[in-house]
Structure 1
Amino acid sequence: MARTKEFDPDAALQGALELFWSRGYEATTMADLVEHLGIGRASVYATFGSKHELYMRALERYLETRDPLIVSELSAPGPALPAVRALVRRFAAEAGAEESRLNGCFVTNSAAELAPRDAAVARRVELSWEQVETLLHSALSRARAQGELAEERDPRALARMLLVLLQGLRVVGKASSDPARVRDAAEQALALLG
């Protein structure tokens, strides 16, 4: 007879996400995971596979909780430009907040730490960025069609600029103790929208 799990795999995955998010992949050992999750090494392997597989599942969990918010913000009916502005300002506020500064963005952290040498992480990060860029492009195209954005403005180029800005806000926000730095950068970028 198969033994029943004596722990909640969902809670363990959330715990792994939090540990990887705060420490990064390389600085988190399997011993750290076992201690933090309060479950045996064999249970971690049996439930999640390798440390890398657990990391990938944690990254997916993070995206499942973050991406729907961006979708709802940028896909809401009505004027599109205010939604774009609100998204950029939210990223700047989060990047400048003390609690966010400690961990940063898990996607951005993954891009900086692992994507250059880990194809699976690079693909997942790129997929996330493509989704955000597509949502921004769609919102900016709607804004141009509704007369909120000047006709000569290129929604695709603006979407790419904003994606890079959003990721940059996360990096600078994590390393800087001056929230005005990210707030001012965001406002200057938003000025380009007209």
Structure 2
Amino acid sequence: MDEALRRAMLVFWRWGYSEASIDRLTEGTGLGRGSLYGTFGDKSALFRKSLLRYAETYHPLYERALSGPHPSPEAVMAAYLRVALNRIADPAVPDGCLLTMSAAQLQALDAEGQAMVRAMIDSLRAMLEQALRAAGAGEQDAAELALCTLATNKSLAVLSRSGFSGEDLATVAAATARVARRPPPLLR
């Protein structure tokens, strides 16, 4: 069951909720329709379990990266984005990010799936804000920098699916982290 769930997660990650047909899910998991439904419930339930599996796999990596201590807010942002870059570079998983793909298709999800996606994004944002404050950012700066870092993370996922090179993605991540050193005039 655990392997089938991992494989279902990869199908949703590669195709998104809307394009992850039951045929793709049965092919990807190796389960027949009856076994798929009997084990996981309907497509929405399987998606939510897959999303939870994704969070259980990747959110601890972000937690470790943010646990610090970090000498500056810039270091916090760089550590967080490094996790995203490493995930994107992993040839064993699809390009992008299941959470990003799910956020982009939010309207296709049921209310419970929508709430899960939003809660997971909010959790990442809260982790970032806490780590940024611990690294010396004031409350407003921590909130702004967390949002900027989170938006960059989601942008990196989209750019990776669009074929941008790892070098291009690293350039975006590094430029974003430097914002903490010298916030642009728009934020001040």
TM-score scaled by length of structure 1: 0.80
2:107 aligns with one of 106, 111, 116: 116
State the distance in 1 between where 2:62 and 2:90 align: 22
| Residue 169, structure 1, aligned to residue 162, structure 2 | no
**2:49 aligns to what?**
57
State the distance in 1 between where 2:5 and 2:114 align: 21
State the distance in 2 between where 1:21 and 1:59 align: 9
**2:185 aligns to what?**
none
**1:189 aligns to what?**
176
**1:103 aligns to what?**
95
C-alpha deviation, 1:141, in angstroms: 0.7
Does the C-alpha gap of structure 1 residues 68 and 157 become closer, same or farther in structure 2, counting only changes over 3 Å? same
| Residue 21, structure 1, aligned to residue 13, structure 2 | yes
Partner letter of residue 39 of structure 1? L
TM-score scaled by length of structure 2: 0.82
State the distance in 1 between where 2:43 and 2:139 align: 49
Does the C-alpha gap of structure 1 residues 167 and 106 become closer, same or farther in structure 2, counting only changes over 3 Å? same
| Residue 154, structure 1, aligned to residue 141, structure 2 | yes
Q: Which moved more, 1:75-84 or 1:154-163?
A: 75-84
User: Any idea what SS the aligned residue of 1:138 has?
Assistant: helix
State the distance in 1 between where 2:31 and 2:83 align: 37
**1:6 aligns to what?**
none
CA contact (8 A) 2:133 2:139 kept: no
Does the C-alpha gap of structure 1 residues 172 and 32 become closer, same or farther in structure 2, counting only changes over 3 Å? closer
Kindly tell me the number of residue pairs found equivalent between the two proteins: 179
State the distance in 1 between where 2:46 and 2:96 align: 20
Gaps of at least 5 residues in structure 2 are: 182-188
**RMSD of aligned alpha carbons:** 2.5
| Residue 41, structure 1, aligned to residue 33, structure 2 | yes
**Per-residue CA shift, 1:59-101, capped at 9, x if unaligned?**
1101111111111211234646434322223424544x37389
State the distance in 1 between where 2:151 and 2:86 align: 16
CA contact (8 A) 1:165 1:186 kept: yes
2:82 aligns with one of 73, 76, 89: 89
State the distance in 2 between where 1:14 and 1:46 align: 17
State the distance in 2 between where 1:172 and 1:45 align: 34
Partner letter of residue 110 of structure 1? S
Does the C-alpha gap of structure 1 residues 93 and 75 become closer, same or farther in structure 2, counting only changes over 3 Å? closer
**2:133 aligns to what?**
141
| Residue 68, structure 1, aligned to residue 52, structure 2 | no
CA contact (8 A) 1:94 1:100 kept: no
State the distance in 2 between where 1:89 and 1:179 align: 11
User: Any idea what SS the aligned residue of 2:24 has?
Assistant: helix
User: Any idea what SS the aligned residue of 1:193 has?
Assistant: coil
CA contact (8 A) 2:12 2:20 kept: yes
